[in-house]
Amino acid sequence: MKNLPTLDLAVIVVYLGAMLLVGWYFSRKNKNAEQFTKASGQIPGWAIGISIYATFLSSNTFLGVPGKTFGGNWSAFVFSISMPLAAWVASKYFVPFYRSTGQISAYTHLEHRFGAWARTYAVVCFLLTQLARMGSIFFGVALTLQALTGFSMKMIIISMGICIIIYTVLGGIEAVIWTEVGQGIVKTLGAFLIIYIIVTNVPGGIGKITAIGLHDSKFSLGSFALSFKEPTFWVVLLYGFFINLNNFGMDQNYVQRYHTASSSRQAVKSIWLCVVLYLPASLLFCVIGSGLYAFYQVHPELTEAIRQQAATEHLPTNATTAQIAQAAAQLTPADYGDKVMPNFMVSKIPAGLVGLIVSAILSAAMSTISSGMNASATVFSVDIYKRYFKPDMNDKQTLWLLHTATVVAGIAGLIAGIAMIGVKSVLDMWWQLSGIFAGGMLGLFLLGMISRQTRNREAILAVVIGILVILWMTLSDLLPQEYAMLRNPLHQNMIIVVGTLTIFLAGVILTKLRQKNKSEVQLTSKTV
């Protein structure tokens, strides 16, 4: 490693070693499938709450939010503003429902409601969402570590993936939750440390940062215009509500944690503790982004280095200096926002502290990826393999299946991370992919929960209509110019909003039409 001092390397190695030891410690308890997936329902609510907070506070937040703020405004915080309403809905309706079913999978009840197809469809949507989430997180962390170490991003992703797979397979959900408690604390302390270093490196400190931020609208929450074609305040708010409702309401990562609590009351407490912690934390990372923007305004020579680095990634290896300079001059802050945090760490954070902050970034990645691996393994084992291939598995076989599925999920996630190398904004990529995959799943779930009269046939037609709408909104930009009028006019963040509402409303309308036709037939029969 060519840039990191020995002290920083030692801090990182100690941290990774500690994670592996935690996995080994809890492996002694994982003698059955229930312990691996539910921790026997003995985790206190406060620990689950910090665990959920740590999952939210992924490297997409740690790296993506400052990068997004650097290149734009505080729209990422608008996403967080929607959390309390989504948490209220989840705590009032979803948590009691899941606790009453006793099913470890969030999607088993969909089969009881609509049939096996609905359960499988939701699981596929969830697995694709997790693949996108893990991939974007692997990529985001590799982007930072490459700047610090000089190692290739592929090598970093593979090495980190192996470490995460080992401790997740060993420790199960209990190791995931308790390591996330520690990781949540490390990440928060790392964020405060970064803020302190930024302020001390900007001449004039907080006053100068505030002046630059106000002048360049770096504290703005976005446009309040009632438009859904751009990422306005309202678009991000709607997107945030639907994504957070999906997270709290039917994402296996969170639903599985509700089952680890000793009671429904403790599970509800965990949701609200997450909200109380994440709202100020997300604001803190927006402040970091605005602070970094001010820092690089004061040090334009460092900005030029970042621009050239970003430009070279999209040019041939034999590009001339003049070509690089020309390409760099065309870049905007939004094009290289994800690179400012790694560059700042390399140039301004003292030895020893870099290791601590890298450990915080690693913990941000590991907590989300490990929980995603555990949740993906759980739903694959319960909803796919045991449902369709071998329903009579004993407990030993089920535990082996969970271990194998965890490894496969981890490998798929790191492959997705490698595939994302070169993406301009990790946060934009994650927002777009999660909106596409989660929209259909949430719409079907709400249809089954709210419209109690909807039957299997109406649900199938509603999902088909919803999928077609989502595909059109996602792919219509590829249409040739002569068909430009057929392109999606809305911003990409509206995909989950429109997709969810399409499935729900289509199901309700089809149900009403069936009931109306039935009433007309009955009335005709009586008349005859």
- pLDDT attached to residue 292: 92
Q: How many C-beta atoms surround the C-beta of residue 107 within 10 A?
A: 25
Residue 10 has which token pair? 């030692």
For 381-414, write each residue's pLDDT tens digit.
888 888 888 888 887 888 888 888 989 988 988 8
In 3-state terms, what secondary structure has residue 326? helix
DSSP string, 221-247: ----SS-SSS--HHHHHHHHHHHHHHH
Q: How far apart are CA 244 and CA 238, in angstroms?
A: 10
- pLDDT attached to residue 429: 62
- pLDDT attached to residue 55: 78
8-state DSSP, 350:
P
Q: What percent of the chain has pLDDT over 70?
A: 91
Q: How far apart are CA 435 and CA 498, in angstroms?
A: 10
Residue 522 has which token pair? 């009955």
8-state DSSP, 391:
T
DSSP string, 52-79: HHHHHS-HIIIIIHHHHHHHS-SHHHHH
Residue 351 has which token pair? 């030895």
For 54-92, write each residue's pLDDT tens digit.
878 776 677 778 888 888 889 889 989 999 999 999 898
Q: How far apart are CA 500 and CA 439, in angstroms?
A: 5
Q: How many C-beta atoms surround the C-beta of residue 201 within 10 A?
A: 17
Q: Which of 496, 494, 498, 433 lies closest to 230 in space, CA to CA?
A: 494
Query: What is the pLDDT averaged over residues 495-507?
Result: 90
Say how many CA atoms lie within 13 Å of 3 toward its Cβ. 18
Q: Which of 247, 254, 231 lies closest to 495 in space, CA to CA?
A: 231
- pLDDT attached to residue 1: 39
- pLDDT attached to residue 2: 47
pLDDT at 35 over 80: no
Residue 313's identity, in one-letter code, is: E
pLDDT at 39 over 90: no
Q: How far apart are CA 516 and CA 345, in angstroms?
A: 65
* Domains present along the chain, CATH in parentheses: 6-298+345-424 (1.20.1730.10)
Q: Which of 249, 267, 349 lies closest to 5 in space, CA to CA?
A: 349
Q: How many C-beta atoms surround the C-beta of residue 484 within 10 A?
A: 10
For 407-464, write each residue's pLDDT tens digit.
998 898 888 888 877 666 555 665 566 666 666 788 888 888 888 888 888 999 999 9
pLDDT at 509 over 70: yes
- pLDDT attached to residue 29: 66
- pLDDT attached to residue 434: 65
For residues 334-370, one letter each, b for 16 or more C-beta atoms within 10 angstroms of the residue's C-beta and e for the rest, the string is: ebbbbbbbbbbbbebbeeebbbbbbbbbbbbbbbbbb
Cβ(66)–Cβ(361) below 8 Å: no
Q: How far is CA 177 from CA 258, 320, 366, 372, 427, in A?
A: 12, 50, 11, 12, 24
- pLDDT attached to residue 34: 66
Q: How many C-beta atoms surround the C-beta of residue 417 within 10 A?
A: 28
Average confidence score pLDDT of the chain = 82
- pLDDT attached to residue 85: 93
8-state DSSP, 89:
H
Residue 243 has which token pair? 């994504």
For 159-182, write each residue's pLDDT tens digit.
888 888 887 787 777 777 887 788
Q: How far apart are CA 344 and CA 196, in angstroms?
A: 13
